[in-house]
Amino acid sequence: MAVIPELTIRESQAACCGVGGTYGYKAEKHDITMAVGRSLFEFIQEVDGPLAVCDSETCRWHLAVATGVPFVHPIELLAAAYGFPVEGALADVLK
């Protein structure tokens, strides 16, 4: 990723987003899920970038909802760097 021109990387030191697969989607686990992910949510919001990157689909969903920041998979960034067409949040940022 570091070789992609004009890409700024800010790597989080947070251990977990808190969702834990389907665990975090259970209503009775919501408060625990949000508490576990709090440091990562705060980091993402402090960075204040146009989007963020995560390789786990479940984590991307959870993080996007918790932070309001659009997420993409790392492969989408590589595809864009190689000139392949991309869609969604990444396409919006590249306009």
pTM for the full predicted model? 0.88
Asked, for residue 14, whether it belongs to a domain, the answer is no
Amino acid 25: pLDDT = 86
Domain that holds residue 89: 23-94
Amino acid 76: pLDDT = 95
Amino acid 80: pLDDT = 94
pLDDT in tens, 4-19: 988 999 999 998 999 9
Asked, for residue 7, whether it belongs to a domain, the answer is no
What whole-number distance in Å separates Cα of residue 57 and Cα of residue 21? 10
Domain count, the chain: 1
Asked, for residue 1, whether it belongs to a domain, the answer is no
pLDDT in tens, 39-89: 999 999 999 999 999 999 999 999 999 999 999 999 999 999 999 999 999
Asked, for residue 86, whether it belongs to a domain, the answer is yes
| Helix ranges restricted to H, the chain | 30-47, 57-67, 74-81, 88-94
> Exposed/middle/buried for 14, CB within 10 Å: 0-12, 13-18, 19+?
middle
Is residue 22 predicted with pLDDT exceeding 90? no
